[in-house]
Chains A and B, each alone.
Chain A
Amino acid sequence: MAASSAALSLPKVFRPVLGLGRSGNPAKVTGGSMLHATVILVTPPPAKYGGRHTVTLIPGDGIGPELLNHVRELFRFSCVPVDFEVVNVNSSVATEDDIHNAITAIRRNGVALKGNIETNHNMPPSHKSRNNLLRTSLDLFANMMHCQSLPGVQTRHKNIDIIIIRENTEGEYSSLEHESVSGVVESLKIITRYNSLRIADYAFRLAREKGRRRVTAVHKANIMKLADGLFLQCCKEVASGYPDIQFDSMIVDNTTMQLVSKPHQFDVMVMPNLYGNVVSNVCAGLVGGPGLVPGANYGTNYAVFETATRNTGKSIADKNIANPTAMLLASCLMLDHLRLHDYANMIRGAVLTTMNETRLHTADIGGQGTTSEVVQSVMKNIQSGGPLTTEQI
């Protein structure tokens, strides 16, 4: 007690450096299962009165609202001490008020769970992608995606286990474009030393924490000599500080070719924004599709969780056929981030049991189950396995 009050008296700035959480207690870094990401950089917000956390929820478009409703339902059922502050973002209006409200809510709560917000690419360039705006405003510089083959899901390649770390704020997604002459458009790809070092450092720290052996940087420095050359150089610099982890690099087109033929050679991969988009979608496809992989976006102060491939799923919205696995596993990542590991492991275990043992699959992975059936099965697994649920009290 004395130690924590002494720690509390330290200026706020020093606490993260000394590995202390906001409450002044040393932040526990748990190794744990391979599936949850304990990020050393981000300190989660403390629980409010009653030990309950408040998390911003952005339903988004397409399948987002229905999947997030299922998440809420599941959390209520499992007595998870998380309250959701729902912020709706209307993607069709031109004003950016909605997304700025969402950003303010995330700044307030520190953590968010979101569905994908649709971007109509036929709108003029002044109408920016809402998702991108959110990521850059909150400086969520690292996108982490852990692709693991699920034994119960039929895929061409088995036993894939790749972590993809993608720079999330700059690169080709800088949204800096101009038409210099009529009919000639220039789009700027920005690579900075600061962000490249930051993402490389994040990648190596994560690799070390999770006991991974190898980090591969994906680039196209043979063509984009200055831009990707800088990225590669930064990765090499950071790699020299981690002699226990092997570092190599691969050109992006060769990477995609190797991924579809020999995916087991990859361990941890780090790359700039656009290549991250391509590689993460290829890997998600390899392990079974967009409905299975959760993704996390981390910044120094905020964390936002969503599905890894960020699909809106407009064509399957409201049909009760979407796969809730990705969103449920994303909510588990969120619970891990909030240090509610017991709840995270409980829900994750139940979801994986449904996928691998009960094998209740939705249409996207070759089954015939509906979304609600899968969620019911997860609830049943929780009820039979874990602590008391609302129905038993």
Chain B
Amino acid sequence: MICLKRSAPSRHLWKEGLISSICTLVSRVVGAMKSQASHPRTFSRGLQTVTLIPGDGIGPEISTAVMKIFEAAKAPIQWEERNVTAIKGPGGKWMIPTEAKDSMDKSKIGLKGPLKTPIAAGHPSMNLLLRKTFDLYANVRPCVSIEGYKTPYTDVDLVTIRENTEGEYSGIEHVIVDGVVQSIKLITEEASQRIAEYAFEYARNNQRASVTAVHKANIMRMSDGLFLRKCREVAENFKDIKFTEMYLDTVCLNMVQDPTQFDVLVMPNLYGDILSDLCAGLIGGLGVTPSGNIGANGVAIFESVHGTAPDIAGKDLANPTALLLSAVMMLRHMGLHGQAKKIETACFDTIRDKKVLTKDLGGNSKCSEFTGEICRRVQDME
């Protein structure tokens, strides 16, 4: 049983192939022309609208914190707050509210706080809905050691790029006979090509030296073999970036011994899920890890990947670092590198100083105090 959407008729493939090769050529030329890493769209002139989805639990307070810091930094961002709780559409299918969708389609950039996963609400998880609505095919997680938040691993500086739409998470499962279940892992040429291209472009735009494809092709010969083949093909067009392949188990083994040997990692869905969380654990957990989801048609949603923490919601105890770093990632994506650097430095300096830290970082300050400290530092940098 295959998802029919995936079997593209062959007559469209040559057109797609031509378009994609032209796009690759254009991006190569543009990439070669740039001295500093920036996305082709620059928003240095005028205000850029960003759809803000505060989320649940501690979501609203950390979103407020981020807005305050951005105001202090005088970032040219105009926030448009939207709610994405699923509603039942005309056909009976669950979908996100029209205002939210329209706002995202217009602004193309979103910042999202943690969303509650409903258990008995009847609708699927919001994250899944967002992913499907905007075809968010790449999940990018840069993991950089935070000086001042000590973990056994120092000098971590890598990026995990995970294919977000297919692979082991296609959700296609069957009970063959009672007691035997099969779960289908789907790997397609287009999705593998798309993620590989994104990975190499990201590496080029952010001055990363190498891309490593993570796979298990010795066991899953055809599926991971296809993924690997596509990565190799795309690597041919990016000769300036070193391409290596490594087995998943070798990556895990080496990652916990010496994470400095890795740069950009690209992989299918499941391995990406595991490895990105592993890397987040290396730098201190989900409370300090930024994350971005890149979709088709230029849509990008940046989010904090931690939970909603209902036990501390509304008590001004939350740590806004994850959402703040995701917002910084968003600024970089938009080309506002100066602003991004300023805010990031202020945040890291505050953490390194250890005077004003939230409880999870080892201090006992409030969220507002932590935010205030960062705002002060940002303003001092002017």
Contacts and interface: CB of A to CB of B under 8 A. Distances in A.
A259 B281 contact: yes
B248 A278 contact: yes
Given A156-B153, A185-B223, A254-B277, A281 B252 contact: yes
B120 interface: no
A183 B189 CA distance: 5
Contact of A184 (B175, B188, B225, B253): B188
Nearest to B151: A261
B250 interface: yes
Contact of A178 (B153, B222, B278, B284): B222
A181 B190 CA distance: 13
A280 B183 CA distance: 23
A187 interface: yes
Interface residues of B, number: 61
A175 B219 contact: yes
B284 to A, nearest CB: 8
Contacts of A173: 219
A278 B214 CA distance: 12
Given A121-B217, A184-B6, A227-B173, A253 B274 contact: yes
A258 B281 contact: yes
Interface stretch (B81-89, B254-262, B296-304): B254-262
Given A253-B273, A257-B280, A257-B285, A190 B182 contact: yes
Interface residues of A, number: 63
Nearest to B178: A193
A192 B176 CA distance: 10
Contacts of A184: 2, 6-7, 186-189
Interface in A140-193: 156-157, 172-173, 175, 177-193
Contact of B278 (A179, A188, A257): A257
Contacts of A230: 179, 181
B185 interface: yes
A27 interface: no
A124 B222 CA distance: 8
B226 interface: yes
Interface stretch (A38-46, A205-213, A284-292): A284-292
Interface stretch (A58-66, A218-226, A371-379): A218-226
Interface in B39-78: none
Contacts, number: 185
A74 interface: no
A225 B253 contact: no
A289 to B, nearest CB: 6
Nearest to A125: B221
Contacts of B222: 125, 177-179, 185, 187
Contacts of B184: 186-189
Contacts of B286: 257
Interface string B21-40: 00000000000000000000
Nearest to A191: B181
B174 A226 contact: yes
Interface in A220-267: 220, 223-227, 230, 252-254, 256-261
B180 interface: yes
B168 A181 contact: no
Nearest to B166: A184
B376 to A, nearest CB: 31
Contacts of A127: 221
A18 B2 CA distance: 50
A353 interface: no
A185 B282 contact: no
A192 B181 contact: yes
A255 B286 CA distance: 13
A147 to B, nearest CB: 12
A277 B153 contact: no
A187 B274 contact: no
Contacts of A290: 253
A289 B181 contact: no
From A128, A185, A286, residue with most partner B Cβ within 10 Å: A185
A185 B183 contact: no
Given A226-B174, A258-B281, A282 B256 contact: yes
Given A121-B221, A185-B223, A187-B220, A284 B285 contact: no
From B171, B181, B257, B280, residue with most partner A Cβ within 10 Å: B181
Interface in B139-198: 151-153, 168-169, 171, 173-175, 178-190
Contacts of A256: 252, 274-275, 277-278, 281
A123 B252 CA distance: 24
Contacts of B99: none
Contacts of A278: 248-249, 252, 274
Contact of A172 (B175, B219, B250, B278): B219
B13 to A, nearest CB: 8
Given A260-B282, A309-B253, A129 B7 contact: no
B278 A177 contact: no
Nearest to B278: A256
A311 interface: yes
Nearest to A262: B281
Contacts of A177: 220-223
Contacts of A310: 249
B181 A226 contact: yes
Contact of B182 (A121, A180, A189, A194): A189
A108 to B, nearest CB: 28
A128 to B, nearest CB: 8
Interface string B9-24: 0100000000000000
A192 B180 contact: yes
A191 B183 contact: yes
Contacts of A129: 218-219
Nearest to A364: B257
A223 B181 contact: no
Contact of B256 (A180, A226, A285): A285
Nearest to A197: B179
A180 B2 contact: yes
10 contacts: A175-B220, A183-B188, A184-B6, A186-B2, A187-B220, A190-B182, A256-B281, A257-B277, A281-B250, A285-B255
Q: Which 3 residue pairs spanning A and B have beta carbons closest together?
A: A257-B281, A285-B256, A193-B179
